[in-house]
Amino acid sequence: MKKTLALILLFIISFAARIYQSGQIPAILNRDEAALAYNAYLLKETGLDEWGRAWPTSFESFGDYKLPGYIYSLTLLFKLFPLEDWVVKLPSIIAGSALVVLAFFFAKAVRFKDPWTWLFTILTTTTPIFFFYSRIAFEANLALVLFVASLAILISKVNGKKRFILDFLAIVIVLLSVFTYNTPLLLLPFILPIIIWIRGFKSWQKWLPAIIGLSTIILLAGYQLLSLSSQKSGITIFQDETILTNSIEYHQQFSGAWQTILGNKYIYYSYLIGQNYLQSLSPNFLVYARDTHPWHSLPYHGHLPGVVYFFGIIGILVVVIKLLAAIKSKRFSNEIRMKASLLYLMLISLLPAAITVDAPHATRSLLFFFLFNIFTLFGLKRSYHFIRDHTQIKKNALLISFSILLAISIFSYLNDYFLSYPSQQQSLRPGFEEIVIQADQQYPDQEIVVIDEEGYQYVSLAWYLKITPETFSKSIVRQLPDKIGFKYGEQVDKYHFVVDIDDKSESEKIVINWNKIEEKWEILEF
């Protein structure tokens, strides 16, 4: 009963921290959030998306295909709550809060005991990237919670009829995650060996139903989402033109037999993937978040506290050493099977990011961050036992020191998020909602030009002005797709979107422009 109350309290605290000022911080929806929001609004009103398709299983949006899970959840919420930014973020807020509770059950599933289970729960609660992502409408965040829930069920130690029921539940949850974000579908084939390994290869009755169910999802969902997968392949290292050119140059620097042995594409792409893995594990990415996207991290803060990263690396080394010893002795206890499975799972969780051109990439690596906290606990436990057995230091000194450093890190993060971050969001170009509403009211009968260098403002404008489905469908004009399939908006209602101010016609006198010097939106009259 006490554990249940504690988990409920943690959920409430997490939810309160995530929903507080969520409509103002971040100050504006990014283009992906706006696309989710506006398509959900269209579905609510007409049952059709922005392309006029009825209840699709993949949304084309501006060419960046999106899965239906988050949009359909918003469609339901829009029937209950107002069409406001904080509601758009609500599924992610709830998911981030639920992840805290799931962390407790996941730790139990991987055989942690108290108080380490509670420490992992606290780590998940306070991990910066989970807090930051929970306050943005990230499909990946909702999919992460669903995928973690299914993993916790699949690796839990349950047998008999209850095992069959739980596997069925896990398969349903996996299906929901697969139709929410693309990463779970990419990882799912790599999950199958873990289930067999943990449950025992010879005990096929324990794992066969789950394997059949998950394999069916892989085949059916993979076929259903083929169009989305085709578009997403454009961002991989295997389709990038620059990398393709570099691979040819790499091949040509060898001669004779060495071109076949060392100069082949498999060596080259393996090198790139390995390099992306190392960058994804580096403190520059995890602790300092240098050169990361402004949607992915708080300025001047990393994805993980330094103390968490330090013990996480120790934990990885500890598990690797134990695994090598088990391989040498050919003795695999249940404990080493679980730790080896977690190590394998953590490494493959980076694969969706490692094969893309913009690696390291936090959004595609959310499962990695969750699992890295597990290895932080392994590192802490090993250090705790070493200090207890080999030094005169009090056995709780390490945990107390770790807790103090973690508390300082989290206090600094929250202080900067709520007090400093509101004035550090210029890269997001805030104020667009206010300026388009002002222009719409001030110039009701005039054509208005919007300077849009990226080509996505049409969907933000449609969301913030709540352009009716009828008006949108009649007036929307899109440009031809670029090399990765993105289709930029050119016209919605009376709004004309151009890249440069010189692209407007002589008859267009009103212009909405982002002033790069003053870093604010402005209305210009000609």
Model confidence pLDDT, tens digit, residues 165-193: 999 999 999 999 999 999 999 999 999 99
Residue 314: how many other CB atoms lie within 10 Å: 18
- The residue with tokens 């103002």 is 24
Sequence-distant (6+) residues with CB within 8 A of 137 are 29, 32, 33, 36, 37, 70, 88, 89, 91, 92
**Would the pLDDT of 270 be above 80?**
yes
What's the rounded mean pLDDT across residues 150-167? 91
Give the model's pLDDT for residue 124. Answer: 96
Report pLDDT for 392.
Answer: 72
Residues in Cβ contact with 398 at an 8 Å cutoff, skipping those fewer than 6 apart: 380, 383, 384, 387
Say how many CA atoms lie within 13 Å of 352 toward its Cβ. Answer: 24
| Percent of the chain scoring above 90 in pLDDT | 72
- pLDDT at site 486: 78
The predicted model gives 229-233 an average pLDDT of 55
**Confidence class for position 342, pLDDT limits 50, 70, 90:** very high
Highest mean pLDDT pick, 252-261, 365-374, 502-511: 365-374
Question: Residue 454's pLDDT is what?
Answer: 85
Query: H/E/C letters for each residue in 57-84?
Result: CCECCCCCCECHHHHHHHHHHCCCCCCC
pLDDT tens digit sequence for 78-87 = 999 999 999 9
295-340, pLDDT tens digit by residue?
899 998 999 999 999 999 999 999 999 999 999 998 888 889 899 9
The whole-number pLDDT of residue 450 equals 96
* Residue 447 DSSP label: -
Query: How confident is residue 455, by pLDDT bands cut at 50, 70 and 90?
Result: confident
Residue 233 confidence (pLDDT) above 60: no
Sheet holding 489-492, edge to edge: 477-478, 489-492, 495-498, 448-451, 510-515, 520-525
pLDDT at residue 97 tops 80? yes
- What's the pLDDT band for 229 if we cut at 50, 70, 90? low
Query: For the segment 399-425, what is each residue's pLDDT rounded down to a tens digit?
Result: 899 999 999 999 999 999 999 999 999
Q: Three-class SS of residue 143?
A: helix
> What's the rounded Cα separation, in Å, for the pair 149 and 175?
12
Q: For residues 270 and 263, what is the distance between their CA atoms, to the nearest angstrom?
A: 12
Q: Can you tell me the mean pLDDT for 370-387?
A: 93
pLDDT of residue 125: 94
Per-residue pLDDT at 201 exceeds 90: no
Report the predicted TM-score, pTM, of the whole model to 2 decimal places. 0.94
Q: Backbone dihedral region of 160: left (phi > 0), alpha (psi from -120 to 50 degrees) or beta? A: left
State the average pLDDT over residues 452-465: 93
Write out pLDDT tens, residues 51-75.
Answer: 999 999 889 888 788 999 999 999 9
Check residue 349 and give its pLDDT: 96
Dig out the tokens for 203 from the structure: 């005990």
Cα–Cα nearest to 137, from 37, 236, 210, 48: 37
Secondary-structure breakdown of the chain: helix, strand, coil percentages, each rounded to the nearest 5: 65, 5, 30
Which range among 114-123, 203-212, 292-301, 305-314 has the greatest average pLDDT?
A: 305-314
User: Once rounded to an integer, what is the mean pLDDT over residues 93-112?
Assistant: 95
Q: Where are the domains of the chain?
A: 1-22+95-135, 247-391+416-428, 430-525
Cβ neighbours of residue 340 closer than 8 Å, sequence gap 6 or more: 197, 319, 323, 326, 332
